[in-house]
Amino acid sequence: MNPKWKEQLEQHRNKRREDIIQGAQQLFLERGLSSITLKDVVEICGISKVTLYKYFRSLDEIIFEVQINVLSAFWQDDNLHSPRGNNGFEKVRYLLEHMISVSEQQANSVRFIAMFDAFYRENYVNTELEARYISFLRKGTHPFYALLDEGISDGSIRSDIDIHIVTFTLSNVVTATLQRMIVRGKVLQLDQGVEPASVLEHMVDMVLTYLKPQG
C-alpha cells in the first residue's frame, strides 16, 4: 500500500474511532450508562453495526474508552502537572485549588466519571478491560505523590506519613467531594444550607491542615 494512502487511512480510522467515542459520551451524559445500547450508539454516530464492530467489540469497551478519554482530557492541563509554589506544601495547595477550578469548567466530565464509578462499583466486567484501565491509571507518577515527596524533602510537609497511602487517600477524598458537589451541589445546598463552594474550600483547608508539619 502506498505510504501516503496508508497514513490517510489511519487518520480516517482514528477520526472515526474518536467520533464514536464522542457520540457515545454525549448519549451517556444525556441518558446514563444503563439505558444505552449499541444500537443507540450506531444511530447517533450514523454508522452500521458492522462498522462499529471494526472499532469496538462491546458497549463496555466503549464506556471504558470514554472514561479514559475524559480522564486524559482532564489531566492534560499543564497547571495540574506543574503546580506553582515555592515548596511542596504550596504546590499541593495550588493543585487542589486548580483541580476544583478545572472540575467546575469540565462539569460534564466530572458527571461521567461519577456515572462510571457507580456503574462499575464492584468489578470491571472482564480481565482485559481491567488490565487496560489499570495500566492507564498507573502510567506515570501521581501528581500528589510527587508533591508530597517534594514537601517532605523540603520540610514543608510532615514526614511521618506513608506517601503511597496519603496520595490515594487524597485522590479519593478530593475526587469524591468534587463529584458530589458538582453532580448534586444544588440539591445538597437545599438539603444542608451550605454552598458547594464553601464545602470545597473547607475540604482544601482540612487537607492542608493535616499535611502541615506537626508541632
80 and 46 in one domain?
no
CATH code of residue 150: 1.10.357.10
173 and 86 in one domain?
yes
88 and 51 in one domain?
no
Among 11, 29, 56, the domain-final residue is 56
Class of residue 181 by CB neighbours under 10 A (exposed 0-12, middle 13-18, buried 19+):
buried
191 and 105 in one domain?
yes
CATH code of residue 26: 1.10.10.60
If we measure between CA atoms, which residue out of 72, 58, 65, 67 comes closest to residue 14? Answer: 65
Amino acid residing at 142: H
82 and 15 in one domain?
no
92 and 45 in one domain?
no
What integer pLDDT is reported at residue 1 of this predicted model? 60
184 and 94 in one domain?
yes
Task: Render each residue's pLDDT in the chain as its tens digit; 215 residues.
Answer: 667 666 666 777 888 899 999 999 999 989 999 889 999 999 999 999 999 999 999 999 999 999 999 988 888 776 677 889 999 999 999 999 999 998 998 899 899 999 999 999 999 989 999 999 999 988 878 889 999 999 999 999 999 999 999 999 999 999 999 999 998 888 988 899 999 999 999 999 999 999 999 86
State the virtual CA torsion across 98, 124, 181, 96 in degrees, nearest 10. -20
How many domains is the chain partitioned into structurally? 2
**Domain ranges, residue 140:** 72-211
175 and 150 in one domain?
yes
Helices (H), 32-162: 38-45, 49-53, 59-75, 78-81, 88-105, 107-119, 127-137, 143-154
197 and 132 in one domain?
yes
160 and 134 in one domain?
yes
What integer pLDDT is reported at residue 95 of this predicted model? 94
How far is the C-alpha of 48 from the C-alpha of 42, rounded, in Å? 6
What does the block give as the cell for 68? 479514559
What integer pLDDT is reported at residue 78 of this predicted model? 62
